[in-house]
């Protein structure tokens, strides 16, 4: 049961975050979910621990979506590369992740966790890029540069208010970055 409550709280936290950004309170989450603050504090000691777990929860959901792409036999290698570079669980598509740029200053430990998760777990992507090169659908190039370019773009989303300033959602920005990368590495 505790895992169900934990997941409910994390989903509620994402909803409240979408409404208020990082300025939400535990009261806001309790109200959103119709539970007591005490219930939240039984699962999470404080907001920082909740954020840390929320980051892991979000990235675990992304990895699950990534695995679905890998298993989809109806996609070509290039389509899989495009999807995996821009993978985002459907349930998070509408969440305003642009507000995460505030993390670095207000919650540096959580921000470091985001950076760590962005820098790891590239095995499927690397395997697809290598497969794409073998198939001749992408140009031979140093994979480390593709990885660095996507990581750097995503880190900029989380370091600055560039998305808000340019009226771009996180999903739109990610789609544009992936489009630029894939069109740049695809053979013509």
Domain ranges of the chain: 75-185
- Locate 10 and state its tokens: 């994390």
- Given a cut of 50, the residues of the chain with pLDDT beneath it are none
pLDDT at 79: 95
pLDDT at 97: 65
Burial class (CB in 10 A: 0-12, 13-18, 19+), 8: middle
pLDDT at 151: 85
Half-sphere exposure at residue 99, Cβ-oriented, CA atoms within 13 angstroms: 14
- Estimate to the nearest angstrom the gap between the alpha carbon of 146 and the chain centroid: 17
pLDDT at 81: 94
**Are 124 and 70 in contact, with CB atoms under 8 Å apart?**
yes
CA dihedral defined by 57, 151, 159, 11, rounded to 10 degrees?
-20
pLDDT at 15: 85
Residue 9 CA to residue 2 CA, distance in Å, equals: 10
pTM for the whole structure: 0.78
Q: Can you list the alpha helix ranges (DSSP code H) found in 44-122?
A: 47-71, 77-85, 103-106, 108-119
- Estimate to the nearest angstrom the gap between the alpha carbon of 73 and the chain centroid: 24
pLDDT at 88: 72
Q: Which of 160, 33, 35 is nearest to 99 (CA)?
A: 160
Name 133's bridge partners: none
pLDDT at 159: 67
pLDDT at 61: 86
Q: What angle do CA 78, 95, 39 make, to 5 degrees?
A: 125
């Amino acid at each position: 049961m505790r895992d169900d409550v934990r997941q409910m709280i994390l989903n509620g936290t994402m909803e409240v975050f979408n409404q208020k950004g990082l300025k939400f309170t535990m009261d806001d989450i309790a109200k959103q979910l119709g539970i007591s603050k005490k219930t939240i504090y039984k699962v999470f000691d404080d907001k920082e621990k909740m954020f840390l777990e929320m980051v892991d929860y979000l990235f675990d959901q992304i990895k699950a979506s990534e695995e679905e792409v890998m298993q989809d036999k109806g996609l070509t290698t290039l389509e899989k590369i495009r999807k995996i570079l821009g993978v985002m669980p459907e349930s998070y598509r509408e969440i305003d992740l642009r507000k995460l740029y505030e993390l670095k200053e207000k919650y540096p430990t959580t921000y470091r966790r985001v950076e760590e998760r962005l820098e790891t777990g590239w095995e499927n992507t690397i395997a697809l890029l290598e497969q794409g090169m073998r198939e001749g659908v992408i140009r031979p190039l140093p994979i480390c540069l593709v990885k660095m370019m996507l990581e750097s773009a995503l880190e900029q989303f989380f370091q600055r208010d560039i998305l808000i300033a340019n009226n771009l959602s996180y999903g739109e920005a990610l789609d544009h970055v992936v489009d630029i990368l894939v069109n740049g590495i695809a053979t013509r």
